[in-house]
Structure 1
Amino acid sequence: MKKQVSLATNSQTPTSSVINLPELALIAITFIWGGTFLVVHNAVTASGPLAFVAARFAIAAAICSLICRGQLLKLTKAEFVAGVAIGVAIFGGYTLQTYGLMFISSSKSAFITAFYVPIVPLVQWLVFKQRPHPAVWVAVVVAFVGLVLLTGTDGLTMGLGKGELITAVGAIAIALEIILVSRVAASLNILRVTIVQLATASLTALLLMPVLGEAPPPLSKTFVFSVIALGCASALIQYVMNWAQKRISATKATLIYAGEPVWAGVIGRLAGERLPAMAIVGGILIIAAGILSEWRPKKASSASSDTEAELTQ
């Protein structure tokens, strides 16, 4: 039987349950990612979605360009194409999610956005013919149930209104971003691809503003603070995503990203929001799903190895 090839460059199967550096890095940026949700929710009161996305990613691209001066002079065609493709996916995910928040509650948005959890392995299987291990499918289900519990009963009221549809399409864009990053990170320069993708997301939003009739926002304190804070966060998040997904699979990365609502709930609690008991249960399920995704029975693994050895003789 043909052995499944991982999207990550590190093709060795983990033999230890200890969390490695790429996983810790993704957990850290997922915490930051979850913390930005409140900032975005407040920012849309002072700016249109396109202007906010354009300013946010322009700052992120500028930060990366200043830190990595001279990198773009070595930009290759493959890196440019990959960066543009990922940038368009980033633009779609962040812009549509921001638009959706203008029509639906944050809990419903979190639940619908969570569709990217099962979408990633599904797309990998259907498009790239990379069938996941059965444990991954179970972990995806567990993570999804955890997300349902985490978002509460309001998240279960899923009408097909404008906000719901926009957010669902945004979730697909997020899934595509994760898959694209995993497929190109192994062979391309991470710094240059990151700069191009951030600039692409910003430029796409800026160019669409006059097309969709969105006026530039006033330079209020809320807008300026929000775009600077989230610009810095976006630069860090996108670079760490590219770096870490060069070393672990897209499915495993997706399950770590599923912890975003957990961190958002914790930060919300610190800000004065009450975290229901069922939300805590949901958070535990999401953490359990991450562990389950890497679980492999020793006997089954040994039997599989023996069978492969016999076939090669």
Structure 2
Amino acid sequence: MTKKLKSDIMLILVTVIWGSTFIIVKNATSVIPVYNFLFLRFLIAFIVLAILYGRRLVNIDRKTFIVSVLVGTMLFLGYAFQTLGLKYTTASKSGFISGFNVVLVPILEAFFLKAKLSKTSRISVILAMVGLLLITTNVDLKINFGDFLTFLCAVSFAFQIVLIAKYAPSVDTISFATIQILVVATLSGILSFIYEKPTIPTNKTVWFALILTGIFATAFALTVQNTMQANTSATHAAIIFSLEPVFSAITAFLVAGEVMTLKSIIGGFLMLLSMILSEMPSKDKLRA
């Protein structure tokens, strides 16, 4: 098994985890405030990684710390803008605009990493966007304040993906991910104390969600993302991550009985097709 194939499999696994935990997070944040939940979720993740890899954090170098804080801030802004945007726009539009990073990543990658986008990658990006548009139903063309905030969320996540691609190959990826998680926990805690009334939950369902997302969807997922993205391009990773709403829809159907429309099924098929196409070598590479 090649490094690239192994990386793709692990990144798909991460996307499955993120998509399948969406309904769990949604239920938990209906009980406790959002930033309160994010603070506890990322704090749990940090504690887990600190216990497992504490020695690496003690010996972290200046470069790794600085870029980790930068990428962690982008990660936090993605969550923050997405959450604020949901107050002023619909969930379907939020899902579509958030996924717009699949288009932004190739642009940023070309600008910052001087990467040339192949014809196959361009087609994959287009298919992913069409699929995303179909799977996020009831999307209208009116732009409001919430849509603008959600667009900033997409920009933030796009920067996070590109920055990981840029720095992951040259830093200790475990420390890289751990500091990012600490940054999100810290900033979420600050916002929670300013705008919410943070509490320690007593609800078992909330604690189940916190432990599940803290360990698997955060500590494990972000460590894998930071490690495996070193072996692939930012654009390719973005195409894989765009499958998150597909797995979210499948989970909602299996767990909550939510019906998948024909449009959603076609959209999911196009997104899966975009990922398969992105795995194929381009003609440019074959000529080389």
Q: Which residue of 2 aligns with 1:180?
A: 163
Q: Which residue of 1 aligns with 2:232?
A: 248
Query: In the TM superposition, what is the alpha-carbon distance from 1:151 to its structure 2 partner?
Result: 1.3
Structure 2: tracts of 5 or more residues without a match: none
Confirm or deny that 1:26 pairs with 2:23.
no
Match of 2:266 among 263, 276, 281: 281
Q: Deviations over 1:231-250 (max 9, x none)?
A: 11211110010111011111
Match of 2:55 among 70, 93, 100: 70
Match of 1:169 among 148, 152, 156: 152
Q: Which residue of 2 aligns with 1:127?
A: 112
Question: Which is worse superposed, 90-99 or 236-245?
Answer: 90-99
In structure 2, the CA distance between the partners of 1:301 and 1:254, relative to structure 1 (3 Å rule), is: closer
Q: Deviations over 1:136-163 (max 9, x none)?
A: 11211111001111112x1x22432333
What is the TM-score of this pair, normalised by structure 1? 0.84
Q: Deviations over 1:218-241 (max 9, x none)?
A: 524144333222111211110010
Confirm or deny that 1:115 pairs with 2:133.
no
Structure 1: tracts of 5 or more residues without a match: 1-13, 306-313
How do 1:1-313 residues align onto structure 2 when only pairs under 5 Å count? 20-152=5-137, 154=138, 156-211=139-194, 213-217=195-199, 219-221=201-203, 222-232=205-215, 233-271=217-255, 272-296=257-281, 304-305=287-288
Q: Distance in 1 between matches of 2:7 and 2:113?
A: 24
Query: In the TM superposition, what is the alpha-carbon distance from 1:68 to its structure 2 partner?
Result: 1.4
What is the TM-score of this pair, normalised by structure 2? 0.91
Query: In the TM superposition, what is the alpha-carbon distance from 1:56 to its structure 2 partner?
Result: 1.1
SS at match of 1:70: helix
Larger Rg: 1
Q: Distance in 2 between matches of 1:296 and 1:136?
A: 10
In structure 2, the CA distance between the partners of 1:297 and 1:122, relative to structure 1 (3 Å rule), is: closer
Q: Distance in 1 between matches of 2:61 and 2:87?
A: 39
SS at match of 1:185: helix
Q: Distance in 2 between matches of 1:205 and 1:51?
A: 7
Matched AA of 2:149: I
Contact 1:190 1:243 in 2 (8 A): yes
Q: Deviations over 1:272-291 (max 9, x none)?
A: 00011111111111111112
Q: List 4+ stretches of structure 1 deviating above 4 A.
A: none
Identity across the alignment (%): 30
**Structure with greater helix share of residues:** 2
Contact 1:143 1:286 in 2 (8 A): yes
Query: In the TM superposition, what is the alpha-carbon distance from 1:72 to its structure 2 partner?
Result: 1.1
The number of residues matched between the two structures is 285
Q: Deviations over 1:9-59 (max 9, x none)?
A: xxxxx9x9x981111101111000111211222222222222222111111
Q: Deviations over 1:139-194 (max 9, x none)?
A: 11111001111112x1x224323332222211111111111111111011111111
Q: Distance in 2 between matches of 1:292 and 1:44?
A: 36
